[in-house]
Structure formats: C-alpha cells, structure tokens
Amino acid sequence: MFDIPTVDVDMAAHVIMERAAFPASAPSVAAVPTRAVAQEKASATRKSLTAGLMLAVRFIQARFISVWGLLVAAALCPPQAFADFAVFSAFANFVAIAALMRLEAIFFQTSDRDRLGRAFRLALAAGTAFLGLVACVVIAGMALDWIEPSVALLFLVSLTGRSVLRLLWSEATAEGDFKVIGNSNVVQAVVQPVLMLLLIWSLGANSYALFLADALGHAVAATYLIWLRRKALVALVRPRFWSLSELLASAIRWRDAPRYLLPSALLSYGFTIAPLMALPYGGNPLLAAHVALAMRLLDVPTQMYATVSGPLVLNHLRALPEAKRQSWVRLVTLGLIAGAVALFGGIALVALGVDSMLADGQWRGVGEIVAIMTLFYCGIALVSPLHDIASLSRHPLQHVATNAVALLAAALVMLWFGALSMPLLYVLGIVSLARMLAQIRFAWTRLGPEGSPILKPEMSG
C-alpha cells in the first residue's frame, strides 16, 4: 500500500540494474600490469556487490516495516476507500515514470562527473517542465469539475515527491551513495504509516486520509533525501552551469532515452497495474477491495525478489567475457525460475491457510484472491531481472514489442470479461506467465556479442 516508487517494476533496484546494463567508459591511461588491474577490478566488484547487498537489506527492511501500516489500513478503512487509494497510488507511480522522460538512465553511462552534471540538469529541467504541464492539466480538470480540488492538490504533491525521489535516487546511485538510498526508504516506511494512522484518527477512515498520507509520506522522504545529498546537488546545479544552449545540445544528444527507454518502462508498468484498471468495472466492491489488498501484499515479495536478484545477476554478468554470457545467463535463468516458483507457491499455500482461519468479515476470502494472483505476480517478479538482461539483447525493440503485446492482451481480456471476477484474475495470471516466457526466450537465445544498439555508451566529448 505504501509505495516506495519503482518501474518496470521498484526504483531503488531498477537504477542499480541500469547502472550495470550501461557499460561505463573511461579515459585511456598508461599501461598497468595485468595482475594489478585484475586485483583492482576484483576489489571494485566486491565493493559493488557488498553495497548492492546492503541496499537490498535496507530495502527489504523498509518493506517489512511498511507492512504493518498496510494491515492496519485494511482493518480500519472500508473496502471502497482502500480500492480508491490503490488506483490513486498506481496512477501516480505510472505518471512519475514519465516525469523525467527516462533521462535518469543517462546517469549510468559513464563515471564522468561533467557528463553527470549535464544529464542531471537536463533531467531536472525536463521534470520541472513535465510537472508544470501536469499542473495545467489538473487545473483544467478542476475548472471543468472533473477532479475534486483536494484530490488534485494531493495528486500533484504525491507526483512531485515521487519524481524528486526518482531523480535523487538515480543521482545517488550513480555516485555510489547506496546508504542514503536505503535510509530514505526506511524513513518513508516509518513516517508514512504513522501519518496514515494520525490522519485516520483525525479525518476518519476514508480515502482522503490515505491520499494525504501518501502525499505527505513522499514529500517527507524527498525532503530528507534532498538534505542528505545537498552538497552534491549544489555542485551539480550551480547557476553558472546553466545555459539554454547546453540544455538543447544535451536534449539532442540523449534523445534516444525518451524514444526507446520510456515506452518500454511505461508499457511494463502498465501491465503490472493492469488488474487495478479492472477495479472500476467491479460490480462487487468487496472483491475490488480484496484485489487491491492482494496487490499491495504481493507487491512486497515481488520487490524484494527483484531488489535482491537483479543487482547480483547483472553485477556478475557485466564482468563476464562476452563469449560466456549466454551460457551463464541460461543457468541463472533456471535458478531465477526455481526461486520465483518456490517463493510465490509458498505464498499461495500460506494465504489459503490464513484464509481458513479468518473470521467472517469484510476480508474473509482475501486469501483465495492472494493465491490466485500469485500467478500474475510470479510472472512480474521474474520479469524484473530478465527485463534488464534482455536490454543486452541483439533486438531490444522486440523487447518493447513484447511488453506492448502483453499489455494489449491484458486490455482485451478485461474488455472480454467486462467485469472484475475470479476467472478474469486467472486469465490475467496466465497472460503474465506467457509474458514471462517471452522474456525468458530473450535471455535464453538473444544475447549477442555486439549487444544492444540502444544501450551502448555515448561518444565522449
């Protein structure tokens, strides 16, 4: 329920994966003995692996802390308020992906701080313009009575907080400050549930209290992160660095990020939240609330799986010789499949057992919904690391097409059923597993020595 913002499924894990997927370029240096180079690379790899593991631990810790707030909200709030908030949160996350036009991916192409500064200023300018455009649309919606003013304001605050977190998490990851990222996750996981309880006590158990808790929670986390990174940010955005000519040149130079990476990210996240789009069609509000709660619960192990597996897999993959990558990825893919099946199969069994122990009430039967939706989320979890492995494919545009076809299939299925129902959830789970198989095919057969034409680093200069 209380999101720590992601994409193509979670941001903290995702930016680390991207850093591994974008090979860093470095200026030429004088010849160094081979043994010294090997030792230095091994030491850097160990440090990177340790930092990635510590970030995963902090992120898992944050998600466990936030679970109690989720359960309390489910107990205190009526089902309709819970379902409304799930849609609000998912939509805010979806729009936040586009806020920076995926320009934050440029941060990981090179360790050159001058280029990082240019990319950061471009992403900041693009994000500011995007938020201004969204504000204009929201104001127009308010004028036409399409959106309640209070909900519109909270949406803008929540969207701004998510966008700032996305930008600063990317910058901190590019600089290797994983501790700050982990701490900001924990702060949000603690603050947001506490705010939610206070707001429910003062405003009542309604959707507005949940919206407000979400907006304030993201705002607090973003402010905290700005304060922690203030010295680095000042060095990147000093007034003397800004110029319109630089922004235009940078926009032209890195135009492929919004052209290719943004559609893939939006399509992937759109598929992830597809079940939520069926909630407004639910004739049974209790079933809609059960689906919303199941999605929030299953989001926790899904993000944990991606956070732990993605950085570890790509960190090792990047260090392998190109000739060995394909065979190694095949073995790792089998391990990832086994891990995902074991994790979500176990969750399904536990959910069914817990459901049998629940007393009659508004949440009776939610365990069965959780068990059904493990099909959907097993596919989502496994696609997270495979998504980044497939970015090294010889045919990256086919990868984008796969996400588009899967999203189209989900939309057609929802239109066919016409209403939220148990059979619809089963079919969406099957579509998710089919998408997972398509991603496995990319990882299994399509890694070429030339790699992806999109993800090659830019020319320096």
Residue 454 included in any domain: no
Residue 193 included in any domain: yes
Other CB atoms closer than 10 Å to residue 451's CB: what's the count?
Answer: 18
- pLDDT tier for residue 76 given thresholds of 50, 70 and 90: confident
**CA separation for the pair 27, 384 (Å, rounded):** 32
Instruction: Tell me the sheet residues that pair with 447.
Output: 393
Residue 434 DSSP one-character state:
H
pLDDT given at position 281: 57
Q: H-type helices in 204-359, by residue range?
A: 207-228, 230-236, 244-253, 256, 262-272, 274-277, 285-319, 322-357
Task: Note the pLDDT tens digit of each residue in 186-240.
Answer: 888 888 888 888 998 898 888 899 999 999 999 999 999 999 999 999 999 988 8
- Total structural domains in the chain? 1
Residue 62 included in any domain: yes
- Structural domain span for residue 69: 11-21+48-445
* Collapsed DSSP state (helix, strand, coil) of residue 238: coil
Amino acid at 139: I
**CA separation for the pair 382, 302 (Å, rounded):** 9
Q: Per this entry, what is the length of the chain? A: 461
Residue 94 included in any domain: yes
Quickly tell me which residue has 């907006």 as its tokens.
Answer: 215
Other CB atoms closer than 10 Å to residue 259's CB: what's the count?
Answer: 12
Least confident residue range of 16-25, 33-42, 430-439:
16-25
**Under 8 Å CB-to-CB from 123, ≥6 apart: which residues?**
100, 101, 103, 104, 106, 107, 167, 170
Share of the chain above pLDDT 90, in %: 29
Share of the chain above pLDDT 70, in %: 72
Residue 1 included in any domain: no
**Under 8 Å CB-to-CB from 23, ≥6 apart: which residues?**
109, 318, 455, 456, 457
Task: Note the pLDDT tens digit of each residue in 12-35.
Answer: 434 333 333 333 333 333 344 444
Residue 29 included in any domain: no
The per-residue pLDDT of the chain, averaged, comes to 77
Residue 40 included in any domain: no
- pLDDT tier for residue 134 given thresholds of 50, 70 and 90: very high
121 and 251 in contact (C-beta within 8 Å)? no
Residue 28 included in any domain: no
